[in-house]
Amino acid sequence: MNDSPIGVYDSGLGGLTVWLEIRRLLPAESLVYLGDGKNCPYGSRPGEEIRVLADEAVGRLVHDEGCKLVVVACNTATAAAIDSLRAKYAGVPIVGMEPAVKPACLATRSRVVGVLATERSLDGELFRHTAARYGEGIEVLTVPGRGFVELVESDRESTPEAETCVRAAVEPMLERGADQIVLGCTHYPFLLPVLKRVVAGHGVTIVDPSPAVARRVEQLLDENGLRASRMHRPTFEFRTFADEAYRRRLERKALESL
């Protein structure tokens, strides 16, 4: 048993979609959420810069917050830094965001799968490897979700602007016959109401990897004997590299999602 918290890190607000799934699945566990905020978005930053930012964030969760396990709830940071993070913090289980291309490719009927992600994630070795392994005989369409992160970070995900932005990215996929659309950034599930309106009537399944990440966290807790004790009273903390106003936004958005 281990009552130390689980750390969840993202460039900003997006990883709260993963935080929520972990809290639902593991209600007895304490959580520390670190949303960078200061350097968001990560999507078009150079890989080395992202590695430095990710190292700073995970170091804070491990050394300052005493986290027993860390979730890198950012597809861009996972693509750029997961190997170096696991090497440096070898004593702490670290879970990354694996592209949900596998379940989409296994489920597609039209043999066309769409992937929405940041430019850096789509350029990552993990995505390319997964797409090559499971996408044989399947057309995998990749589209950067340009503007998606900024919409979520500015609380504009329910605006007409958001619908225009989502349509511009998704409608070309629909025209090509995609029946599975993978969300390759943890910010994107905040746009689910808009996404569902855009794909309505097209027989499309939207694939969100967050529940699978929560199940992987549960598996690693059990494998490593890290579950919180039965008498533990969980706490939920929010941290950021931005200002106090942003920290309060993280907390508010998390509570609104429950």
Q: Which of 40, 67, 74, 105 is catalytic?
A: 74
Catalytic-residue membership of 67: no
- Of 3, 1, 20, give the one whose Cα is nearest residue 186: 20
Q: Which of 40, 67, 105, 185 is catalytic?
A: 185
CA dihedral 68, 212, 142, 83 (to 10 degrees): 30
Q: Residue holding tokens 């396990």?
A: 69
- Of 207, 197, 231, give the one whose Cα is nearest residue 117: 207
**CA 107 vs CA 104, 134, 179, 205, 228: distances in Å:** 5, 11, 9, 9, 36
- Coil, helix or strand for 258? coil
| Calpha distance 163→170 (Å, rounded) | 10
Catalytic-residue membership of 185: yes
| Residues with a known catalytic role | 74, 185
